[in-house]
Amino acid sequence: MSTHLYERSHVLHTRAKELMPGGVNSPVRSGKAVGAEPVTLAYGSGAWVTDVDGNQYVDYVLSWGPLVLGHAHEKVRMALHAAVDTGTSFGFPTEAENELAEFVIKAVPSMERVRFVSSGTEAVMSALRLARAASGREVILKCSGCYHGHTDSLLVSAGSGAASLGIPSSPGVGQAVASGTLVVPYNDADAVGAMFEAHPGRIAAMILEPVAGNMGLVPPQPGYLQKVRDLCTKHGVLLIFDEVMCGFRVALGGAQALYGVSPDLTCLGKVIGGGLPCAAYGGRADLMRQISPEGPVYQAGTLSGNPLAMAGGLATLRELFKPGVQEGLARNATHLAEGLAAEAARAGVPVAATSLGSMLGLFFTAGEGKQVVRWENDAARCRTDRYAVFWRSMRDHGVLLAPAQFESWFISTRHDEKEIQHTLRAARAAFAEAAKI
């Protein structure tokens, strides 16, 4: 596919750069990581999207995860039309808030009470405030490679050593804020234990993605989550699972249901709104009773529980609760991951391909033979140059992926054998191109 077929996308992006930083409203959309301008999308249907130049793609971005039913699902559209007809926002309670809360609590038993907010970042920020208040402690422990939104205290990177004080990873994040966050490697329970021992009585909470999705898809190693749970209990530290991405994706009840490990607090987003801006945090009733107006921990939001978001979330979860839906998603994701690994092997390109529920990961590993990515350092050694070539070729062959190596792929209930075979044909050509560098 020649570059002139992206002409209108180019024109629109050029104009956008005069209006918005980098021409986008979220950095990874820019395409800088793959050496390409973003395609500008016009509409989506099912597993497919169409750009402003009329090019069609099988979509594995799916709005970065929320669209587990695919684009413009009929039940979601009907629910949204009905909600729009009755009013777009009230700032007062609606019945739909009760209904969605009941679905969430049914799916995620550790969430005895839930509070809706508008974004995953807001959910995490609120959960951390609650954890500090409930524990009477100030310090937060996180894992390197796990992303929890752009909350100041979590935009940190590790210093020297396996377990270290956080340092700011973005201008505008003060040293004093960042120093209240400690950092350990993901999938290293020994480092967690060492940090607790080094800072007795100081750590309010440990927050992690139980299934990491923001360094690419990296599942927890066997026993890791339970060890972390046990360590948190032993040291009086609250455990927060950030399931904004993996919630309703790796299992109906999230990673905590899949692995049988219960956190004290959980953050949800993406799927919970069915493509609308919606997120939530919740957990044990005794903790959640400390949230205003029931308790002293203040958190509020004008658009929290917005009727459109509640409608989109309800329509989506009703479909996900139907028998066989999660199993079908997982089956197709496994089929695709295995097919990608086979095509990479055919081309002689080392990759690590994995799937979990309806999430996939594909790393262009640096060494020879089969490799496993277990934490951030493994991911950082991957061949981003090969991924960039692969991404551009996949785009040219009608498959849209996240424009960065360190992102997860997502499938929907509308990705079927037709879409998988289209993807694998495109991947054969794309791996052949990647093998040249």
Q: Which of the residues are catalytic?
A: 147, 242, 270
Asked if 272 and 279 count as a contact pair (C-beta separation under 8 A), the reply is yes
Distance (Å) of CA 5 to CA 55, 61, 396, 398, 399? 8, 21, 9, 12, 15
- Give the strand order in the sheet containing 399-400: 41-45, 48-51, 56-59, 399-400
Ranges of H-type helices in 49-119: 74-86, 95-107
Q: How many whole angstroms from its chain centre is CA 300?
A: 24
Report how far residue 82's alpha carbon sits from residue 84's, in angstroms, rounded to the nearest whole number.
Answer: 6
Report how far residue 150's alpha carbon sits from residue 122's, in angstroms, rounded to the nearest whole number.
Answer: 9
Buried b (16+ CB within 10 A) or exposed e, 295-312: eebebeeebbbbbbbbbb
Q: Which two structure tokens, joined as six digits, stand for 19? A: 């209006």
